[in-house]
Structure 1
Amino acid sequence: MKKHFLILLLIAATTSVMAQHETLPLWPDEIPNSQKSDEKELSAKDGINWITKVQEPNIAVYLPAKQSATGQAVVICPGGGYAGLAYDWEGTDFAKWLNSKGIAGIVLKYRLPGSKSVKVSYEAPLQDVQRAIRMVRAHSQDWNINKNKVGVIGFSAGGHLASTLGTHFDHQDSFEKDFVDALSARPDFMALIYPVITMDEKFTHQGSKNALLGNNPSKELVENFSNELQVKQNTPPTFLIHATDDESVPVENSLRFYEALKAKKIPVEMHIYPEGGHGFSFGLGKGYLSSWTDRLADWLHGLNEENP
């Protein structure tokens, strides 16, 4: 009995250590592009921790043991149609999985464009993810991270945000900057999981488009946030996953981005599965789709070998 009790204590202690993380505000002083409102952040747990009306964006930092750290770090953008964040389903659960591969997982709780506290809707998410990448680089030495191995992963609308970062990382802001904002916001790599890419009405996810750009956006805005049209020579290497039977975000989103990257000779790897639908996260219980994370782990490992 005593032996069993000691084992249980050890398991509890190990679980506690694994669950430890640090949460830091993105903007310790004034949040740019914001205004006072009576809005309150909401968090609902019904199978998934669903966060809406984000008021104070932050990053939750999950670090692997120093002995197993590869030096890579990934900023994670959960999805939710730009109306909410599937914070654990596509966020903290992946941070822990990344830790098991020796990679730092940084979960971004970004502002949502429909919040009353946001002035210009479509600017806030990009501002937050730019800041998150810069903060990781600012803390790279403290967190045992190579500042040249900082990437981004995004799911669904979070995939749109991640691909927006990858194509608009040098977007200039007008707010007063600090030393963190002087660092590069370019991700060294991107992983886009069943991502929204285009704002083209034929293939976009209409809910995400409406939430980000409004119901009647200008042609200029639609083109600017159709990220397949914004790929440049310095867009980072990209990994894409999608299911053919995705009825929420058509597979053409990933196909279009793949073609745009290929045209610019940017390294890209894409895996299209016949079934899986949308929002499958780890794909558990969905046959061989559940092995997609092995493909991602192999790709990340390959990047690390190319840039030791």
Structure 2
Amino acid sequence: MALRIIINKRLNMKKAILLLLFSISMNTFAQDTIIPLWPEGQIPNRVPSGEREIHEKEGILRISKVQEPTIEVYLPAKQNATGQAMLIFPGGGYHILAYDWEGTDIAKFLNGKGIAGIVVKYRLPTSESLKEKHNVPLIDAQRAMRLVRSNADKFNISPNKIGIMGFSAGGHLASTLGTHYNEKVYEAVDGADALSARPDFMNLVYPVVTFTQTTKHSGSQKALLKGNESEEMLKHFSNELHVTADTPPTLLVHAADDKSVPVENSLMFFQALKDHGVSATMHIYPKGGHGFSLARGDRHLRTWTERLFEWMESLEQAD
């Protein structure tokens, strides 16, 4: 009887230690994967308000009124890692973030090809907690690129193989970063801000690009520039007008029957890239509409992800 009691005590102790180690490892993992963009108390353009961040899950996780911008990091096994990373900007018309549909699901999918997927939870200009709201998404995007670059060793990625990927309004933010990465929109807060915010490559998926043409997406424009829609500002955020020879190589993906963000957005950006001698690839699908994400239910459209991986491999070969 005494022997059985001792054994049980030892088993219980062993279980307790294992549970403690598991708990510690899970907490460490969580801290490693979700990282604040800014040091505490140093978020630029933030103003006090009673507003709270909203998470709504109805099929798709929709996040609005973002208060604490973060990066959520998904890394492949070291043995599979290519050294490439992709910062992902979910869409949502600058009103919400389709956070899993065009964010975390994409990151996990990239991991299967050895690519680090990093989802950016950026602040939205419809929030009451901001000043100079039109600059805030770009502020967070620049910071995200610099922060990831500063953590390249920790994430097992190459600092010169960090690209960006944006969907819909997230594609507008990505193309804004790709064409306005040198624009000073905030004061440095730490050493990471000494690094370049230039992406090494861009993948724009059914992106909003222009605010000046009839093919613009009015919802994104109004959300970003509400009360500040001068001709100067409309041109400033029409990213086809800001392509230069230094704009990163770009892959564009769009469906011709997109009724929300007309395919002309991609066509104009492709033409601007071509005119400036920037490497540009474009895949236009006849059907697919808007917001198709990975398009897993469409046998033809879902091949766009294979074209993405082929394109990323071609970038490696070009190096």
1:92–1:224 Cα change, 3 Å: same
Using structure 1 for the length normalisation, give the TM-score: 0.92
Q: Deviations over 1:204-232 (max 9, x none)?
A: 11100000011560111000100000001
User: Matches of residues 168-207 of structure 1 in structure 2 within 5 Å?
Assistant: 168-207=180-219
Amino acid at match of 1:115: S
Structure with bigger gyration radius: 2
What is the distance in 2 between the residues matched to 1:203 and 1:156? 13
Q: Report how far residue 305 of structure 1 moved.
A: 2.4
Aligned with residue 122 of structure 1, among 126, 134, 144: 134
Matches within 5 A, 1:193-272: 193-214=205-226, 217-272=229-284
Instruction: Quote the residue 2:57 is aligned against.
Output: 45
Per the alignment, residue 289 of structure 2 pairs with 277
1:53-108, CA deviations, whole angstroms, 9 ceiling, x for partnerless residues? Answer: 00000000000101111110110000000000000000000100111110100000
1:24 equivalent to 2:35? Answer yes
Q: Supply the distance in 2 between the matched residues of 1:89 and 1:274 (Cα, whole angstroms).
A: 22
Aligned match of 1:112: 124
1:55 aligns with 2:67: yes
Judged with a 3 Å threshold, the aligned counterparts in structure 2 of structure 1 residues 266 and 65 are, in CA distance, closer, same or farther, namely: same
Structure 1 residue 177: Cα displacement: 3.0
Q: Name the CA distance, whole Å, in 2 between partners of 1:252 and 1:222.
A: 17
Q: What letter matches 2:296 in structure 1? A: L
Give the % identical residues: 57
Is the partner of 2:154 in helix, strand or coil? coil
Call closer, same or farther: CA 1:176–1:188 in 2, change over 3 Å. Answer: closer
Q: 2: CA distance between counterparts of 1:240 and 1:218?
A: 28
After TM superposition, give the deviation of residue 142 of structure 1 in Å: 1.0
- For residues 40 and 174 of structure 1, the distance between their equivalents in structure 2, rounded to whole angstroms, comes to 24
* 2:80 pairs with 1:68: yes
For residues 73 and 182 of structure 2, the distance between their equivalents in structure 1, rounded to whole angstroms, comes to 24
Structure 1 residue 150: Cα displacement: 0.5
SS at match of 1:196: coil
Partner Cα distance (1:200, 1:287) in 2: 35
Aligned residues: 291
* Structure 2 residue matching 1:94: 3-state secondary structure: helix
Structure 1 residue 174: Cα displacement: 4.3
Q: Does structure 1 conserve the Cα–Cα contact (< 8 Å) formed by 2:135 and 2:185?
A: no
8 Å CA contact retained: 1:72, 1:304? no
Q: Which amino acid aligns with 2:254?
A: H
Q: Which runs of 5+ in 1 are unaligned?
A: 1-12
Instruction: Give the drift of 1:176.
Output: 4.3
In the alignment, structure 1 residue 84 sits paired with structure 2 residue 101: no
1:6 aligns with none
Map of 2:10 onto structure 1 = none
User: CA-atom RMSD, angstroms?
Assistant: 1.5
Q: What amino acid sits opposite 2:74 in the alignment? A: Y
Normalized against structure 2, the TM-score is what? Answer: 0.89
- The Cα of 1:283 is off from its aligned counterpart by 1.1
Is the CA contact 1:241–1:270 (under 8 Å) kept in the aligned structure 2? yes
1:273-301 CA-to-partner distances (Å, cap 9, x unmatched) read 01000000011222300111000011011
Write the distance in 1 (CA, Å) between the matches of 2:109 and 2:50. Answer: 37
State the alpha-carbon separation in 2 of the partners of residues 69 and 117 from structure 1: 38
Matched residue, 1:5 = none
Amino acid in the other structure paired with 1:210: K
In the TM superposition, what is the alpha-carbon distance from 1:114 to its structure 2 partner? 1.1
Q: In structure 1, what residue type is equivalent to 2:94?
A: Y
- Matched residues in 2 for 1:140 and 1:60: separation? 14
Structure 1 position 100 matched with structure 2 position 112: yes
User: Any idea what SS the aligned residue of 2:266 has?
Assistant: helix
User: Which position in structure 1 is the counterpart of 2:174?
Assistant: 162
Distance (whole Å) between structure 2 residues aligned to residue 174 and residue 83 of structure 1: 22
Unpaired runs of 5+ in structure 2?
1-21
Q: Which amino acid aligns with 1:28?
A: P
Change (3 A) 1:174 1:88: closer
Letter in 1 for 2:255: A
* C-alpha distance in 2 between matches for 1:238 and 1:215: 32
State the secondary structure of the residue aligned to 1:141.
helix
